[in-house]
Chain A
């Protein structure tokens, strides 16, 4: 081999960079990331983007159709609901609720799950047994029913929804972290750290955690789509954020009274849920394919 060919060989790339490049080249996943970003921007900048006040009622505009149907106007592009409120503006504000709850639940659950999973996988013994039992018991509840029971107990409200969902959600990252920790704790580099006299805390946080993060992140993004649907379902049942705050689930529910004459009231908020959830699902599948190919089909 000549020196010239050696020099032209591409520089060694880190695994992370290679994975990121794989992800970037997945056009469908990138498109989904853009859709998710649009929703995030909508949520953050809602007061700047929304053409109308989401809670302003106007009985003259009651059930006004979307702009492209006769009787509609472009200032109320997706039409108005039963109280004459602008559906498009309410969808924009509703994005705040869905995204806030999705992110808050996942951050909280992943934090708790990492702590519990690391402890269970690293210390094993009775710690593992206790955490394992709690996990088994929580897995004994169908998700929505558990959340409904908790909401009935705690009463409605934004933070109660986050808690009601996080109470069970942490189990999922916990199981992933525990499994990965069990696999990694016997590897040479952990042994080496231990031989050098590193303490448990250092080994768990500095040696093990950084190496098992990618499956955890992948699972968390997949779960976020699920959490958003659950929140919408709770709101649909009237157990979520209370009126007049706009949330997609309760908007769909409001529209049920008008399915005979005003299909748009239920339809558009549902489209928003579907788009966001679908985009998160596709993007997280792309993430999984790039960062954690073991679980890919």
Chain B
């Protein structure tokens, strides 16, 4: 792909990002309830103080101007104060973000390492029992409500078998100094292998719950594209040359069959973002998703606004990366 084409695609992102910001801004502007009232709460203030507060927050300015101020601030990660936490919104979000990223990445890994082998196996043994099981499994995977599946896992593994923790990220006894915010990295940095194991144990159930729909989708994509590739002439040719089947499958077929899987995985990372709120709520995971849900009930709207914008921008960028990845991996596709 040429640099010009890439630039063109990047420029196309701008109106989308602007539109997304506009919607997020309007969402908050139309939210019922006066921000000053919410901020002040039960305290009584004089009308002068209220007017001053209103001026400080920029609420006295016209809507259009407020939108541009919002944009300018957002570009500098300034989303105002979180009334509830008494700190800047961006600081609160930054604190919660690593937990969410860690969980999402582990969920992605879980999905990839289960979906790809299963999808390939299902394709190689088309119409076998395993293939049928995989088909049923993937249907179940997209039909299971994540919040319910998570609760079932807790009831089975935490309450009944008592082999995995119910909720949280790590036990109090195993806390390590925060360096990166990623517990799997921080525990290793602290040289505490036991704490690393514990962090991993806390991660298993949420990661499986979050990764399940993605596993189901990736498995089907892998199976379909593997079947597609195996029908191609070059595979027949490789087999006709007498190459061992294993080599044909893994060296020749899989390489091309994984192209759609990789791009769908990038797109589906976006769906992990949405799933976060549910999974973090179910497992008491101290990440951004749970923070947003809590903030809605606390009417901590600046935080909700910033988080929704962050999610949306990430989603747009992930889709963009998925597109680029697809073209880079598959030179026949022109942007």
- Chain A residues with a Cβ under 8 A of chain B: 133-134, 136-137, 139-146, 148-153, 155, 225, 229, 232-233, 236-239, 249, 252-253, 255-256, 259-260, 263, 266-267, 269-270, 273-274, 277-278, 281-282, 285, 297
Contact at B27–A149, with CB atoms within 8 Å? yes
User: Could you mark each residue 8-29 of chain B with 1 if its beta carbon is under 8 Å from any beta carbon of chain A, else 0?
Assistant: 0000000111011001100110
Q: DSSP majority for the A interface?
A: helix
The total of Cβ contacts below 8 Å across the A-B interface reads: 138
Report, nearest first, the 3 A-B pairs whose CB atoms are least far apart: A270-B148, A137-B19, A144-B274
Cβ contacts under 8 Å, B270 to chain A: 142
Also in contact, A144 and B145, with CB within 8 A (given A136-B19, A153-B28, A255-B151):
no
Contact at A232–B145, with CB atoms within 8 Å? yes
Contact at B296–A152, with CB atoms within 8 Å? yes
Contact at B147–A236, with CB atoms within 8 Å? yes
Contact at A266–B27, with CB atoms within 8 Å? no
Contact at B315–A142, with CB atoms within 8 Å? yes
Contact at B274–A142, with CB atoms within 8 Å? yes
Contact at A152–B274, with CB atoms within 8 Å? no
User: Could you mark each residue 296-308 of chain B with 1 if its beta carbon is under 8 Å from any beta carbon of chain A, else 0?
Assistant: 1100010010001
Contact at B147–A259, with CB atoms within 8 Å? no
Also in contact, A140 and B143, with CB within 8 A (given A148-B296, A270-B148):
no
Contact at A141–B20, with CB atoms within 8 Å? yes
Most chain A beta-carbon neighbours within 10 Å: one of B139, B148, B292, B301: B148
6 A–B contacts, CB within 8 A, in A order:
A134-B19, A136-B15, A140-B20, A148-B277, A152-B27, A274-B145
Chain A nearest CB, measured from B226 CB (Å): 12
Cβ contacts under 8 Å, A274 to chain B: 140, 143-145, 148
Instruction: Select the stretch in B61-69, B152-160, B253-261 that faces chain A.
Output: B152-160
Contact at A281–B142, with CB atoms within 8 Å? yes
Residue of chain A at shortest CB distance from B156: A263
Chain A nearest CB, measured from B245 CB (Å): 23
Chain A nearest CB, measured from B209 CB (Å): 13
CB proximity to A under 8 Å, residues B20-53:
20, 23-24, 27-28, 30-32
Contact at B151–A256, with CB atoms within 8 Å? yes
Residue of chain A at shortest CB distance from B135: A297
Cβ contacts under 8 Å, B71 to chain A: none
